[in-house]
Amino acid sequence: MFRIAAVRGARAFALRAARPTLLPPARFQRFESTLPESEKRTPEKRTPEELLKAAQDLRDELQKDWDAKVLTYEELLPKTQSPSPDSYLIDVREPEEVVQGMIPSAVNLPLSVLANSLHLAPDVFKAKHGFEKPKKGQELTFYCRSGMRSTSASDVAKRNGYTNVLNYKGSWLEWVGKGGEMAK
């Protein structure tokens, strides 16, 4: 008797589970353009070239505030020969990579700890990294091995309120390739 009740209960459950449940219809709100009809250019009315140009313009507009100025080897060289106390040259490679050498006057602040370190109190930052925490308006120049991590570091710094951010995209490989001096 118990077995019959269990089988009937399982069948009823299976039937209920197999039935699709009806969801209320989705509601969408449509917003109309305030442009006059003559100025409206819907995607259907645009040529592929116009659509591509619009997408590129939008991308450039969104990126312009985040892209750091890119330095060349020739622009960085004088900064390493006579460093300014108001600027930092930051190597964002990991410590095991820095063993190969560094650009003179650079300090090491790995990308893996950069975002968290920028939130530290100045005294904690100095104790952890061995140099003063950069101020929001100070010039920060980032470099890495090949330019990818320095671009990310520039973005992290900008997102954390640093305004004078530069990126040496040629990075360590270009520096060594052009015969730049090495610091150990």
Whole-prediction pTM: 0.65
Q: What angle do CA 28, 33, 38 make, to 5 degrees?
A: 140
* pLDDT beyond 70 at 151: yes
Active site residue 155: no
What was the pLDDT predicted at 48? 83
Which residue would you say has higher pLDDT here, 59 or 113? 113
* pLDDT beyond 80 at 5: no
Contact between residue 165 and residue 142 where contact means Cβ atoms under 8 Å apart: yes
Which residue would you say has higher pLDDT here, 48 or 113? 113
* pLDDT beyond 80 at 46: no
Nearest to 92 by CA among 136, 153, 133: 153
Q: Which of 71, 140, 144, 157 is catalytic?
A: 144
- Taken in order of first residue, the domains within the chain and their CATH numbers are 69-177 (3.40.250.10)
Which residue would you say has higher pLDDT here, 41 or 135? 135
